[in-house]
């Protein structure tokens, strides 16, 4: 979805990538496809996410393709539409955002702009803000992205809420080697935010975290009834979310991935304090 606020800020374009639909088998197949797609001198990237963005089986990632036929690819379609908008409005800038699978596609869209050397688009790029984003590549890929994002002054803010399962997959271990390449803006169940190099319990499954996660899931059920009396309408929770939190008593981290708590984190959390960070993707040594 490409959006423009024509009244208050007509020069800002927002590109939002959709998250995973719970009953879309094709999207879940994208998650399950953890095959590597390797780019020389760049690193290894999640094959399923790359295919969802526009990777073509026989041609890879050509800089230009013919989209006059029946098949359209997300990366090329969005890039061409942004080019059209900027030809009409030279002062416009854009941001990228997405939740879950959408967060992965948002950051990989940046990758392809960099690889295709779309410098005039990168010059108009303000930053990428992802919510509940899964890991998308290996350590070498992460190092490549940190270097390039510093070069083009690209901000990357990766929001993680509490025990959300998805930012903790695919695994960062000796068998899969997936790595996040930027610190996270982590919000706990009270929506208290802090900047961390990695979210707590980075691979989700841990015997040490079983009891804390279950206790937190119980608290989230109770909290849903208490916070409306404390903060009023600022706290967002519908009846579906109230019921779905009961699932968290069995599988903690599943309800935490639903966008509600990310909405509440940005509305009720210490957001302004985090937005003062200009380059959160940089390492401690920068």
Which pLDDT score is estimated for 72?
Answer: 84
From 99, 138, 257, 265, active-site residue: 257
Compute the Cα dihedral for 217, 24, 37, 133 and give only its sign: negative
- Report the alpha-carbon distance of residue 131 to residue 162 in Å, rounded: 12
Query: Which class for 243: exposed (0-12), middle (13-18), buried (19 or more C-beta within 10 A)?
Result: exposed
Which pLDDT score is estimated for 58?
Answer: 79
pTM exceeding the 0.85 threshold for the entire prediction: yes
Q: What is the mean pLDDT of residues 22-28?
A: 62
Q: Which domains does the chain have, with CATH numbers?
A: 2-204 (3.40.50.1820)
The share of the chain scoring above pLDDT 90, in percent, equals 64
CA-wise closest residue to 217 among 169, 163, 269, 257 = 163
Please spell the DSSP secondary structure of 27-72, one letter per residue. HHHHHH---EEEETTTEEEEHHHHHHHT-BTTTB--S----SSS--
- Report the alpha-carbon distance of residue 77 to residue 285 in Å, rounded: 38
pLDDT tens track for 47-67: 999 999 999 887 889 999 877
What confidence tier does 282 reach under pLDDT thresholds 50, 70, 90? very low
99 is catalytic: no
Q: In what order do the strands lie in the sheet with 93-99?
A: 2-5, 9-17, 93-99, 125-131, 155-161, 184-187, 193-196
Pairing status of strand 43-46 against strand 36-39: antiparallel
Pairing status of strand 9-17 against strand 2-5: antiparallel
206 is catalytic: no
Q: Which two tokens stand for residue 234?
A: 């600022």
- Report the alpha-carbon distance of residue 122 to residue 153 in Å, rounded: 9
Q: Which two tokens stand for residue 161?
A: 């809420």
pLDDT of 284 strictly over 60: no
Which pLDDT score is estimated for 285?
Answer: 43
pLDDT of 30 strictly over 70: no
pLDDT of 38 strictly over 60: yes
CB 183 within 8 Å of CB 196: yes
According to DSSP, residue 280 is labeled: T
CA-wise closest residue to 162 among 259, 242, 273, 261 = 261
Q: Which two tokens stand for residue 199?
A: 């979210």
257 is catalytic: yes
Length of the chain: 286
Choice between 70 and 256, residue whose per-residue pLDDT is larger: 256
Q: What is the mean pLDDT of residues 9-16?
A: 92
From 164, 180, 182, 261, active-site residue: 164
Pairing status of strand 125-131 against strand 155-161: parallel
Choice between 273 and 161, residue whose per-residue pLDDT is larger: 161
- Report the alpha-carbon distance of residue 141 to residue 178 in Å, rounded: 10
CA-wise closest residue to 105 among 114, 93, 97 = 97
The share of the chain scoring above pLDDT 70, in percent, equals 90
- Give the three-class secondary structure for 159: strand
What confidence tier does 278 reach under pLDDT thresholds 50, 70, 90? very low
CB 25 within 8 Å of CB 107: no
Segment among 59-68, 152-161, 236-245 with least mean pLDDT: 59-68
pLDDT of 275 strictly over 70: no
From 46, 99, 100, 162, active-site residue: 100
- Report the alpha-carbon distance of residue 31 to residue 62 in Å, rounded: 24
- Report the alpha-carbon distance of residue 284 to residue 282 in Å, rounded: 7
């Amino acid at each position: 979805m490409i959006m423009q606020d024509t009244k208050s800020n007509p020069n800002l374009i927002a590109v939002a990538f959709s998250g995973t639909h719970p009953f879309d088998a094709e999207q879940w197949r994208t998650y399950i496809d953890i095959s590597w797609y390797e780019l020389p001198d760049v690193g290894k990237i999640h094959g399923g996410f790359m295919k969802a963005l526009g990777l073509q089986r026989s041609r890879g990632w050509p800089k230009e393709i013919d989209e006059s036929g029946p098949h359209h690819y997300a990366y090329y379609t969005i890039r061409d539409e942004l080019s059209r908008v900027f030809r009409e409005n030279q002062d416009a800038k854009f941001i990228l955002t997405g939740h879950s699978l959408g967060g992965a596609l948002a950051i990989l869209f940046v990758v392809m702009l960099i690889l295709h050397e779309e410098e005039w688009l990168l010059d108009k790029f303000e930053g990428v803000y992802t919510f509940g984003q899964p890991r998308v590549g290996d350590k070498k890929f992460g190092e490549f992205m940190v270097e390039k994002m510093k070069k083009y002054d690209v901000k990357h803010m990766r929001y993680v809420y509490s025990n959300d399962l998805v930012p903790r997959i695919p695994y960062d271990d000796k068998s899969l080697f997936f790595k996040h390449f930027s610190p996270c803006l982590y919000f706990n169940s009270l929506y208290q935010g802090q900047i961390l190099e990695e979210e707590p319990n980075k691979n989700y499954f841990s015997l040490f975290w079983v009891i804390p996660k279950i206790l937190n899931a119980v608290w989230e059920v109770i909290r849903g009834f208490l916070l409306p009396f404390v903060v009023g309408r600022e706290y967002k929770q519908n009846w579906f979310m109230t019921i779905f939190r009961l699932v968290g008593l069995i599988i903690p981290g599943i309800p935490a991935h639903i966008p509600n708590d990310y909405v509440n984190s940005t509305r009720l959390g210490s957001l302004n304090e985090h937005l003062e960070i200009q380059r959160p993707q940089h390492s401690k040594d920068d």
